[in-house]
A = this chain, B = another copy of it.
Amino acid sequence: MSGNTFGTLFRITTWGESHGPAVGVVIDGCPAGLQLDETDIQKELDRRRPGQSDVTTQRKEEDRAEILSGVFSGKTTGAPISIIVKNKDVDSSKYEALRNTPRPGHADLTYQLKYGFRDWRGGGRSSARETIGRVAAGAVAKKLLDLKEVEVLGHVVELGGVRAKIVSIEEVRENTEKNPVRCADPDAAVEMEAIIRAARSEGDSIGGMVEVIGIGIPAGVGEPVFDKLSAELAKALMSIGAVKGVEIGAGFKSASMKGSQMNDVITIRNEKITTLTNNAGGILGGISDGEPIVLRIAVKPTPSISHEQHTVDTSKMQDTKIKIHGRHDPSIPPRIVPVAEAMMALVLVDMMMRGGFINPSTIE
């Protein structure tokens, strides 16, 4: 188990390298009877796709999803769903020069040290193309959640030091996809876009923060004590390439709060138990409480920058300098939004199955 499988009951296995013939995913554990076709997958892949706008990488990939198994007459059969996306616009020429010089901030060095050998073409397995499998599987997870009236929404809340103002769930739903940075605050979006353009023109890159919200999750999802819903979400989100932090609800702010400020008052509203505030982020003791699940992730700036950088030549074991060419996103947060949503959706489906909220065999 080298770690390319995620989930317990709704379980995905991804494969593929940036410059290999294809990337893909096998989903095992999707119940039978779910209506599914390639357009369901494509819709989400198109949100992740490179070249969507001038704030993303210029690699040209259509990222066409093909379903090779597990679907018959437009419905899932309960058998594993294999989805494949062919790599088309592969250009390894820029990478050959870097085969012995690990790029700072990338996984080049650690893959080399771990495996004694690495596929240096376009980052190989550690490329962001690896997330195609996550997004494709997440699209299936979202269809299952939809049947349970659960929705997952992501948006950029900070980028290059600009913080979006706090917005309602409704605004996230309405505004996020209307601008290329995926920020639900239109004014902040304009500023963020400018920051990305500036970073690109300086040959630099810029970090940011993404919030993901899960809406409609019933109370009772999550397994104490190690497989808390919060713990599974933390793993899922931290497993995305550039993520360096995960917080839930009040998160790091809670470190300077008092109990009397942090505790959410429990009350009855419309004959249902609810809380007045949501500092808990929808999770208490690792189990969902029925409020929206709210988490935020810190996304580091893209390590590929066009500045000259100091590194080593591993073949000669001496210091050297490199300049990275090739096509890169100057800022990852806008494109990480669908990936982060996918990871939350995958966790929710899996944990809802584990808790008995979704039947693992068939859509009833």
Contact = CB atoms under 8 A, between A and B. Distances in A.
Interface in A138-162: 158-161
B303 A23 contact: no
B15 A5 contact: no
Interface string A261-290: 111111110010101100011011111111
A209 interface: yes
A178 to B, nearest CB: 22
Interface string A28-58: 1110110000000000000000000000000
B238 A300 contact: no
A259 B14 contact: no
Nearest to A239: B231
Interface stretch (A167-175, A179-187, A200-208): A200-208
B220 A110 contact: yes
A102 interface: yes
Nearest to A272: B317
B219 A77 contact: no
Given A2-B29, A68-B24, A244-B250, A289 B109 contact: yes
A303 to B, nearest CB: 5
A289 B300 CA distance: 17
A203 to B, nearest CB: 9
Contacts of A26: 4, 13, 15, 26
Contacts of A116: 32-33, 362
A257 interface: yes
A305 B259 contact: yes
A20 to B, nearest CB: 5
A304 interface: yes
A234 interface: yes
B310 A16 contact: no
A133 to B, nearest CB: 9
Interface residues of A, number: 154
A335 interface: no
Q: Which of A220, A262, A299, A314 has the most CB of B within 10 A?
A: A262
A153 B333 CA distance: 33
A51 B80 CA distance: 27
A193 interface: no
Given A130-B225, A246-B234, A354 B362 contact: no
Contacts of A305: 258-260, 263
Contacts of A15: 26, 28, 68-70, 79-82
Task: Please indicate which of the listed interface residues A33, A238, A288, A311 has the most CB atoms of chain B within 10 Å of its own CB.
Answer: A238
B225 A3 contact: yes
Given A1-B227, A26-B26, A113-B219, A258 B301 contact: yes
A104 interface: yes
Interface string A59-82: 000000010111010010111111
Contacts of A246: 234, 238, 245-247
Interface in A205-255: 205-209, 219-220, 222-228, 230-239, 241, 243-255
Nearest to A290: B113
A23 B69 contact: yes
A356 B361 CA distance: 7
B111 A287 contact: yes
7 contacts: A9-B354, A16-B80, A33-B116, A102-B266, A230-B243, A232-B235, A245-B252
